[in-house]
Amino acid sequence: MTDRYAVIGNPIAQSKSPIIHAAFARQFGHDIRYEALLAEPGDFERTVRDFATAGGRGMNVTAPFKLDALALSDRLSDRARAAQAVNTLSFMPDGIVGDNTDGFGLVFDIQNRLGMPLAGRRVLIVGAGGAARGVLLPVLQAGPASLLIVNRSEEKARALAEPWQDAHPVAAGGLPAARGGRFDVVINATSTGLSDCALDLGQGLYAPGALAYEMVYGRETPFMADARAQGAAVADGLGMLVGQAAESFRIWRGVMPDVARTMAQLKSAFPG
Ligand code: ATR
């Protein structure tokens, strides 16, 4: 029997998840159907429960419903609880399990595809909204020498770092706190890449051999252009997207897809 999955969001037509999961299923010869579901605000819970009642096995959740998915879950993984957001639902006989694979996708892409182990590195996260909170625990678990979180509104960065400061080398500040910091890895978790807003982080941000990671994908953002001008290696968030999808597939299907192979397929299907 064909197992059913879906991604739910609003808007959803742009989602690459159906293509990515179809590619994963082909890698293993699995018989699945993965569709994109549009839900109106206020209709999220009904749409999810209808899908589960109709035999759906799992769902990915994207904007603006990751908090609704958290509230709907009967059980949460540690990383979903830390992220305070759910992007992966599994419909089990005894209830709905919520997980968050975004941080896994980011760390997997940086370490495995881009070849930059985070252990012992000096890492900077710019931004303190949902995107930053979603990846914080997996980044800390990778064991960086230090993690600095900076944000336009400094108090939000401080609030994000505070619960982790006893157990991890994490600090927080306003954007100027990053100036001249010579970081090994800089992750842009602000929404500036979506609006092409400039993000002035000053000169001397990058150590030799550093990596600049933009969470947005599919476009050259001002953050990426600045990082190139400063001599850093640059990546956009396509690998994170495929990585989070792969971890969702593993949760549901018990096998881990080949992320690099899937990315190559996506790039040839969507050049540029
Ligand atoms: P997301 O879920 O994408 O993280 P969000 O929770 O609205 O969205 O957070 C957006 C992030 O981008 C915040 O860190 C925000 O900074 P503030 O908390 O100070 O608002 C950051 N951001 C948005 N526009 C920015 C800009 N022009 N310059 C710097 N940071 C910006």
pLDDT computed for residue 272 by the predictor: 56
pLDDT-above-90 percentage for the chain: 94
pLDDT for 268 equals 83
pLDDT exceeds cutoff 80 at 269 = no
Active site includes 66? yes
Asked whether residue 265 carries a pLDDT value surpassing 70, the answer given is yes
- Of all protein residues, whose CA lies closest to atom 18 belonging to ligand 1? 153
Q: How far is the C-alpha of 123 from the C-alpha of 65, rounded, in Å?
A: 29
Residue having the nearest C-alpha atom to atom 11 of ligand 1: 190
pLDDT at 271: 66
Contacts (Cβ under 8 Å, ≥6 apart) of 209: 184, 233
Q: How many CB atoms lie within 10 A of CB 175?
A: 19
Global pTM value: 0.95
Name the amino acid, one letter, at 150: V
Q: Give 151 Cα–ligand 1 centroid separation in angstroms.
A: 8
How remote is the CA of residue 189 from the centroid of ligand 1, in Å? 8
Ligand 1 centroid distance, CA of 266 (Å): 28
pLDDT per residue as tens digits for the range 18-30: 999 999 999 999 9
- Tell me how far the alpha carbon of residue 32 lies from the centroid of ligand 1, in angstroms: 37
Residue whose CA lies nearest to ligand 1 atom number 16: 152
- With 0-12 / 13-18 / 19 or more C-beta atoms within 10 angstroms meaning exposed / middle / buried, residue 14 is exposed
Residues whose beta carbon lies within 6 Å of some atom of ligand 1: 127-131, 151-153, 156, 190-192, 197, 199
Which atom in ligand 1 lies closest to the alpha carbon of residue 197? 27
Give the residue whose CA is nearest to atom 21 of ligand 1. 190
> Is residue 146 classed as helix, strand or coil in its secondary structure?
strand
Residue with tokens 């595809």: 113
Pairing type for strands 88-92 and 95-99 reads antiparallel
User: Would you give the end-to-end CA distance of the chain in angstroms?
Assistant: 37
pLDDT given for residue 86 in this prediction = 98
Locate the DSSP E strands across 62-94.
Answer: 75-76, 88-92
User: Which tokens go with 123?
Assistant: 């890492």
Inter-residue contact 6 to 59 (CB < 8 Å) = yes
102-132 pLDDT, tens digit per residue, is: 999 999 999 999 999 999 999 999 999 999 9
Model pLDDT for residues 50-86, shown as the tens digit of each residue: 999 999 999 999 999 999 999 999 999 999 999 999 9
Cα–Cα dist 23/44, whole Å: 27
Q: What is the pLDDT of residue 2?
A: 94
- Which residue has a Cα nearest atom 23 of ligand 1? 191
> Residue 266: pLDDT above 90?
no
Give me the pLDDT at residue 196, please: 86
- Nearest atom in ligand 1 to the alpha carbon of residue 132 is 4
Residue 133 CA: nearest ligand 1 atom is 4
Does 181 have pLDDT greater than 90? yes
How confident is the model over 167-183, as a mean pLDDT?
Answer: 98
Instruction: Please state the φ and ψ torsions of residue 75, each to the nearest 5 degrees.
Output: -135, 150
Burial of 200 (0-12, 13-18, 19+ CB in 10 A): exposed
Gap from CA of 205 to ligand 1 centroid (Å): 19
